[in-house]
């Protein structure tokens, strides 16, 4: 009954699902062990995917052949492209999801993969022989064998939940925590730490008065995440905006002396950019109101998520404070908010493949690495799943550079700098963010996904066609010459200077006052029209033309630095041999064991002169 597998994935959250799917799609036999098969791909917190920088990650996961984008498209109830008024590097897709459909679509996708077996149980030990993982042991005392193991335990390791003065063992509401595994990993030599996160109360939508709130509609023309032919929304559900006020703050303050955060009962650090409501009114005492997004949890449910009101104050305080919010006067609460504190493993103990440095073929992905967010977890799961498969079949490492994707930025940040608080992605973390846009993730990554056998032929062909269409349209725009008499009227109406002689459409598109909304009109000036290409091709072409100089500069910078990214350092390199290294530099290099000179140069404490010494040693 208990076969041995190429890859075992522990945990079926966002990281675990992507890991299992990737490894199995590439040909590994996979066993997915999870504590509760009814909670596969649960959205522990808000029912939403994407958002600023996170939407770009979902597009990258999709471009490589992962499933989060497809599942999001199949389960969304509202879509918005955030930051449309800013430059294209900032455009970020975000959807409101149907929580149940999301989880169900994931389960269906995994069940449809014949290479995946399932087992409901709790893993409390990894079996290690001669520095290499060879399997896992479960609560039922069963040993499963595997060539690679991916741990994606989320918030469950020694999880403790807090509501006011009440404390429960658990990884998520109504779910047990996982015990034993942290202690065993620590006994193997791993370092662990403690973090915390929190979630708001859920309320009954029938008890709310939406006439007192602002309606937030989805986009008129909803987009989607996947580059494949998933459906777009034809109807959408609205979200709503309301605000806290002084009365709400006063109610919340009555619970401060019972707050597990303010009384020091929670030790772990929480996500700074996703603070609890009590934290917000405490830290920003001069602000008289905070925004609350009232978000439906799905198509066919009255349950509503109160975004912006994450709290671990006593439930009666939560209720009293909620009922002072405009529109919430008659609120009925379904479940209180709570905080959860859990173990994580500082990610500086990992290689760029997410394999641990200490135990061969053992991988960590998701919240266990100190990150927060479904998207951050999903992309790590994908990368760990790919590399777990490649290790199992003895193929080379698969990594993504910082200049190639947010996924590269995230993993490099984690393994190079570590994190003291739950790490979430921001566009500001990426030095090449104009290259790493949501519109071009397929052009950046699909070929890589295809080469390793993850992205399908169909996906690859679609990307090649898009690349050709963009190139053809760029050429048509370049050769289209406009006569002053045909365009000057329009230019005047835009407040743009008129032409004295013929000029190419190409140069006209570069003018800052010509924006993307004008493009459809301008493309009609091409003698044969834009050639029946889709909106994605038009958008991509125009972005590449408008920002050409900027993008070229950024590409050149990336290429310059890439030279260092391509200079590998042997993981067993003896830094003690290089006496000229600074003391701090040598200690950090010995501890973090960077994979490349590029990574070494980003370690805090490794000085430019340390890098020069390494380069001289390597004959550069």
Ligand X SMILES: Cc1cc2nc3c(=O)[nH]c(=O)nc-3n(C[C@H](O)[C@H](O)[C@H](O)COP(=O)(O)OP(=O)(O)OC[C@H]3O[C@@H](n4cnc5c(N)ncnc54)[C@H](O)[C@@H]3O)c2cc1C
SS3 for 435-456, per residue? Answer: CCCHHHHHHHHHHHHHHCCCCC
Nearest residue to 345 via CA among 194, 196, 197, 198: 194
Query: Rounded to whole angstroms, how far apart are CA atoms 403 and 426?
Result: 15
Nearer to ligand X, 201 or 223 (CB): 201
- The nearest distance, CB 52 to ligand X, in angstroms, is 12
Contact between 238 and 100 under an 8 Å Cβ cutoff? The reply is no
Nearer to ligand X, 26 or 181 (CB): 181
Nearer to ligand X, 28 or 199 (CB): 199
Nearer to ligand X, 44 or 416 (CB): 44
Contact between 13 and 102 under an 8 Å Cβ cutoff? The reply is no
Nearer to ligand X, 274 or 538 (CB): 274
SS3 for 561-607, per residue? Answer: HHHHHCCECCCCCCHHHCCCCCHHHHHHHHHHCCCEHHHHHCCCCCC
Q: Which residues here bind ligand X, judged by CB under 6 A?
A: 10-16, 33-36, 39, 44-45, 122-123, 152-156, 172, 178, 181, 197-199, 274, 340, 366-367, 372-374, 377
Query: Rounded to whole angstroms, how far apart are CA atoms 544 and 531?
Result: 18
Contact between 564 and 595 under an 8 Å Cβ cutoff? The reply is no
Nearer to ligand X, 172 or 249 (CB): 172
Nearer to ligand X, 152 or 440 (CB): 152
Nearer to ligand X, 170 or 585 (CB): 170
Query: Rounded to whole angstroms, how far apart are CA atoms 607 and 584?
Result: 9
Give the sheet arrangement for strand 160-163, strand by strand.
166-169, 160-163, 338-344, 193-199
Paired tokens of 417: 């700098």
Nearest residue to 146 via CA among 417, 422, 391, 471: 391
Contact between 289 and 243 under an 8 Å Cβ cutoff? The reply is yes
- The nearest distance, CB 279 to ligand X, in angstroms, is 12
Nearer to ligand X, 122 or 596 (CB): 122
Nearer to ligand X, 52 or 509 (CB): 52
- The nearest distance, CB 49 to ligand X, in angstroms, is 10
- The nearest distance, CB 168 to ligand X, in angstroms, is 12
Contact between 304 and 325 under an 8 Å Cβ cutoff? The reply is no
Nearer to ligand X, 48 or 603 (CB): 48
Long-range CB contacts for residues 355-359, cutoff 8 Å, separation at least 24: 355/384, 355/387, 355/391, 356/190, 357/571, 357/593, 358/131, 358/188, 358/189, 358/190, 359/126, 359/128, 359/131, 359/132, 359/133, 359/188
The residue whose two tokens read 């990368």 is: 383
Nearer to ligand X, 241 or 499 (CB): 241
Contact between 374 and 425 under an 8 Å Cβ cutoff? The reply is no
Looking at the DSSP bridge assignments, the partners of residue 195 are 269, 342
Contact between 614 and 577 under an 8 Å Cβ cutoff? The reply is no
Query: Rounded to whole angstroms, how far apart are CA atoms 392 and 559?
Result: 32
Query: Rounded to whole angstroms, how far apart are CA atoms 256 and 613?
Result: 54
Q: Following DSSP, what letter does each residue of 77-102 receive, concatenated?
A: EEEEEETTTS-GGG-EEEEEE-HHHH
- The nearest distance, CB 153 to ligand X, in angstroms, is 4
SS3 for 280-307, per residue? Answer: HHHHCCCCCCCEEEEEECCCCCCEEEEE
Judged by DSSP in three states, 76 sits in strand
Nearer to ligand X, 88 or 298 (CB): 298
């Amino acid at each position: 009954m208990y076969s041995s597998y190429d890859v075992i994935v522990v945990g079926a959250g966002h990281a675990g699902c992507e890991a299992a799917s990737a490894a199995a799609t590439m040909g590994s036999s996979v066993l997915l062990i999870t504590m509760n098969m009814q909670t596969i791909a649960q959205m522990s917190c808000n029912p939403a995917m994407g958002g600023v920088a996170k939407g770009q990650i979902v597009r990258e996961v999709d471009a490589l052949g992962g499933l989060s984008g497809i599942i999001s498209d199949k389960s969304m109830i509202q879509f918005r492209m955030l930051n449309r008024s800013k430059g294209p590097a900032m455009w970020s897709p975000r959807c409101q999801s149907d929580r149940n459909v999301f989880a169900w679509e994931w389960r269906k996708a995994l069940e449809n993969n014949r290479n995946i077996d399932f087992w409901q149980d709790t893993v409390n030990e990894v079996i290690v022989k001669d520095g290499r993982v060879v399997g896992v042991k479960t609560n039922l005392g069963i040993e499963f064998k595997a060539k690679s193991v991916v741990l994606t335990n989320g918030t469950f390791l020694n999880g403790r939940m807090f509501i006011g003065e009440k404390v429960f063992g658990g990884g998520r509401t109504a779910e047990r925590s996982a015990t034993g595994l942290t202690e065993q990993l620590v006994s193997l030599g791993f370092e662990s730490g403690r973090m915390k996160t929190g979630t708001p109360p859920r309320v009954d939508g029938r008890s709310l008065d939406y006439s007192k709130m602002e309606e937030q509609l989805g986009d008129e023309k909803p987009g989607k995440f996947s580059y494949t032919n998933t459906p777009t929304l034809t109807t959408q559900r609205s979200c709503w905006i309301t605000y806290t006020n002084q009365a709400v703050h006063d109610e919340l303050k009555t619970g401060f002396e019972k707050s597990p955060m303010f009384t020091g009962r929670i030790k772990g650090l929480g996500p700074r950019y996703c603070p609890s409501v009590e934290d917000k009114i405490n830290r920003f005492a001069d602000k008289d109101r905070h925004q609350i997004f009232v978000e439906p949890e799905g198509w066919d449910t009255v349950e509503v998520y109160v975004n912006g009101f994450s709290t671990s104050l006593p439930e009666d305080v939560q209720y009293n404070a909620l009922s002072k919010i405009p529109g919430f006067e008659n609120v009925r609460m379904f479940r209180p908010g709570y905080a959860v504190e859990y173990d994580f493993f500082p990610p500086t103990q990992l290689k760029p493949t997410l394999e641990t440095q200490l135990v061969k073929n053992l991988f960590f992905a998701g919240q266990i690495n100190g990150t927060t967010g479904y998207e951050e977890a999903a992309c790590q799961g994908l990368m760990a799943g790919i590399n777990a498969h490649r290790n199992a079949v003895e193929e080379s490492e698969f990594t993504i550079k910082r200049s190639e994707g947010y996924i590269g930025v995230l993993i490099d940040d984690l393994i190079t700098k570590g994190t003291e608080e739950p790490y979430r992605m921001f566009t500001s973390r990426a030095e090449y963010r104009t290259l790493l846009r949501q519109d071009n993730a397929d052009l950046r990554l699909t070929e890589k996904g295809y080469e390793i056998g993850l992205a399908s032929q169909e996906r690859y062909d679609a990307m090649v066609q898009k690349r050709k269409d963009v190139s053809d349209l760029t050429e048509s725009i370049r050769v289209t010459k406009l006569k002053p008499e045909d365009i000057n009227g329009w230019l005047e109406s835009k407040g743009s200077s008129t032409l004295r002689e013929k000029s190419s459409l190409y140069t006209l598109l570069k003018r800052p006052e010509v924006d993307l909304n004008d493009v459809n009109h301008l493309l009609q000036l091409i003698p044969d029209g834009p050639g029946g290409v889709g909106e994605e091709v038009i958008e991509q072409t125009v972005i590449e033309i408008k920002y050409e100089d900027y993008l070229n500069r950024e590409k050149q910078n990336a290429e310059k630095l890439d030279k260092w990214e391509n200079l590998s350092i042997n993981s067993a390199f003896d830094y003690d041999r290089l006496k000229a290294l600074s003391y701090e530099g040598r200690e950090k290099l010995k501890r973090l064991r960077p994979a490349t000179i590029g990574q070494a140069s980003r370690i805090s404490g490794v000085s430019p002169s340390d890098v020069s010494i390494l380069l001289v040693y390597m004959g550069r």
